[in-house]
Structure 1
Amino acid sequence: MRCSKISRKTSETSIELSLNLDEPGRGKIDSGNAFLDHMLDLFQVHGGFRLDLTCKGDVEVDMHHSMEDIAIVLGQALVECLGDKKGIERYGFYFVPMDEALSRVCIDFSNRIGFVWNVKLPAAMAGGIEASMFEHFFKSLAENARMNLHVELFYGSDNHHCLESIFKAFARAVAMAVAPGRNKNAVPSSKGVL
């Protein structure tokens, strides 16, 4: 069973997160912001994972510290769940349309950090969060999951739809990458290690 439980406590946030890649379920999510809760719920539902999250953060300032620390812990949980990555597909990619919006997410659980954010959101805010924070969220997630993560938004006129498309595409790309690979007994690398 590929699962992880991680706690993180700083002067800005207190986080409890558990992730299970192999038992789908609707975990409880309380990030401190209803819109981010919705996006993280999309991740678990469309990825076929179970995510339980509680974050008590300094939301009276803004969502910056909470989003950054949630991304850090989620990335660490992915690393812990995947271990040496033996038997996984490793690569994942997905296109998701959401009404007028279309995005694509490509990932590689390579143990190397690469991040591309080719996204121009149409409005400055989404669900009470500065739109620029979503780039920071995914960058922090990529760094802590030690993955290549390329996120592209081709078009869209509504921030909610654009971000929903991105989170769903991310979920499906992760699901593809962590699925059983063609060689179940080997690390998916010519080096023999990731």
Structure 2
Amino acid sequence: MARTATDRTATVHRVTSETDVTVTLELDSSVSTPPATGHGFLDHMLDALARHARIGLGVQASGDLHIEPHHLIEDVGITLGQALTQALGDRRGIERYGSAFVPMDETLAHVVLDLSGRAHLAFEPERLDVWGDAGGMTHYHLREFLRGLTNHAGITLHVRLLAGREAHHVIEAIVKALARALRDAVRVTSGDLASTKGLL
């Protein structure tokens, strides 16, 4: 039997010596609260993720930005992954797979994912010459965000950059493609488990 919206929510609070992150997630709601992480471009990307995935997302976070944004960005990804795991529950009835192409001017990103319970990240942009940063966030920071997300949500995630070199457009196109792929994958369309193993 397909689950109800109340079964697909989560709140996770994660504290380390470097960061303090709270994520609230509602997979069957599109009502979000503005993210507040202290990093403007990260907030922009989290807002884009929520809007294009059509999920309810709230992120409140602080971290050692006086050092570098790496810890904050990675830990937000980790906490989001933990919240997604909780909200998905046993993953029964979900579509499981998602794929999306997203253009942004000269940039074209492709994201394919499987909510398999097995963590794997293939991140092609790290082999390319992506120029600059976006408000202090680079494609390497995005890789660490995605690594935290995939490891803690059990996602097999493949990210390809088909065109584009400018960091702002590359990061934004990838995040939007991730969101649209995730939107398809989390949809509940049956009461069955999409696995021949009987377990995700």
Is TM > 0.5 for Structure 1 vs Structure 2? yes
- SS across alignment from 1:106: strand
Counterpart Cα distance in 2 of 1:18 and 1:141:
14
Give the 5 Å matches for 1:82-121: 82-119=88-125, 120=128
One-letter code of the match for 2:17? Answer: S
Instruction: Tell me what 1:125 maps to.
Output: 133
Counterpart Cα distance in 2 of 1:167 and 1:121:
19
Kindly state the Cα deviation for residue 60 of structure 1 after the two structures are TM-superposed: 0.4
Counterpart Cα distance in 1 of 2:92 and 2:52:
23
Label 1:121 to 1:49 Cα distance change in 2 as closer, same or farther (>3 A): farther
One-letter code of the match for 1:177? Answer: A
Size of the alignment, in residue pairs?
A: 192
Q: 1:151 aligns with which of 159, 167, 170?
A: 159
Moved more, 157-166 or 147-156: 157-166
One-letter code of the match for 1:122? Answer: V
% same residue: 40
Q: Give structure 2 stretches of 5+ with no counterpart.
A: none
Q: 1:45 aligns with which of 51, 54, 71?
A: 51
Counterpart Cα distance in 2 of 1:123 and 1:108:
29
Contact 1:24 1:50 in 2 (8 A): yes
One-letter code of the match for 2:131? Answer: A
Tell me the TM-score normalised to structure 2 length.
0.92
Label 1:167 to 1:130 Cα distance change in 2 as closer, same or farther (>3 A): closer
Tell me the TM-score normalised to structure 1 length.
0.95
Kindly state the Cα deviation for residue 31 of structure 1 after the two structures are TM-superposed: 1.6
Please identify which structure carries the higher strand content: 1
Runs of 4 or more above 6 Å deviation: none
Q: Give structure 1 stretches of 5+ with no counterpart.
A: none
- SS across alignment from 2:176: helix
Counterpart Cα distance in 2 of 1:175 and 1:83:
16
- SS across alignment from 1:149: strand
One-letter code of the match for 2:12? Answer: I
